[in-house]
Amino acid sequence: MFHFDPEIFIPFLVFSIPIIAIVGGITVAVVKSLGRQRLVELAQQERIAAIQRGLDISKLPPLPSLADDDDLALGLSAHERDRRRAQGMLIAGLITLFAGAGIMAFLLIVEVNDRAWAVGIIPGLVGVALLLSAWIVSPKGGRGPGAA
């Protein structure tokens, strides 16, 4: 059976997780910003085409903003915003919880150390916290647009 050298593997594992998280966070922010810029650019092109055709611009919807408030840019209601926030936390919680479980299982299998598996407890508990947060912020019955 293949045996990992703990002197090399553990520091690599410990430092690779935060580096991947930071790079991933920066990448998400850049992609989100580029998408928002593209949305505004397309809305401006649509407005220019309407002006060229002689349409009344007051009848067109307002231009989306580049602000960080996605709810205003997407025109979401408070209920829909809360539902999207809860759904995002639910997805993040599940991913983080299972990443922690995977780290624990992996470290149990490779038997690096008797207690090395405990490293997976931290992301696992972060996943549980995100799942609880999703449950707390999720919209409760009767406040939605389709409620009686």
**Do 65 and 47 lie in a common domain?**
yes
Q: Are residues 1 and 70 in the same domain?
A: yes
- My answer on whether 98 and 133 are in the same domain is yes
The pLDDT score that the predictor gives to residue 146 is 45
pLDDT tens for the chain, 148 residues long, are 566 677 777 777 777 888 888 888 899 989 988 988 898 898 889 889 888 988 887 877 777 766 655 555 566 677 787 888 889 889 999 999 999 999 889 888 887 778 888 888 999 999 999 899 888 888 876 554 444 4
Domain finish residue from 75, 92, 111: 75
- Kindly state whether residue 148 falls inside one of the protein's structural domains: no
Q: Is residue 50 part of a domain?
A: yes
Q: Are 96 and 134 in contact (CB under 8 A)?
A: no
d(CA 42, CA 3): 55
Token reading at 54: 């002689």
> Which residue range(s) make up the domain with 40?
1-75
Q: The tokens of 42 are what?
A: 């397309």
> Of 48, 75, 102, which residue constitutes the final position of a domain?
75
* CA separation for the pair 130, 11 (Å, rounded): 27
Structure tokens at 70: 């996605």
Helices (H), 53-74: 70-74
Q: Are residues 8 and 21 in the same domain?
A: yes
Domain match, 80 and 45 both? no
Number of domains composing the chain: 2
Please tell me whether residues 47 and 97 are part of one structural domain: no
Q: Are 113 and 148 in contact (CB under 8 A)?
A: no
Domain-embedded: residue 147: no
Residue 57 is predicted with a pLDDT of 78
Flag whether the pTM goes above 0.75: no
Q: Do 81 and 128 belong to one domain?
A: yes
Q: Are residues 80 and 111 in the same domain?
A: yes
Does 11 share its domain with 33? yes
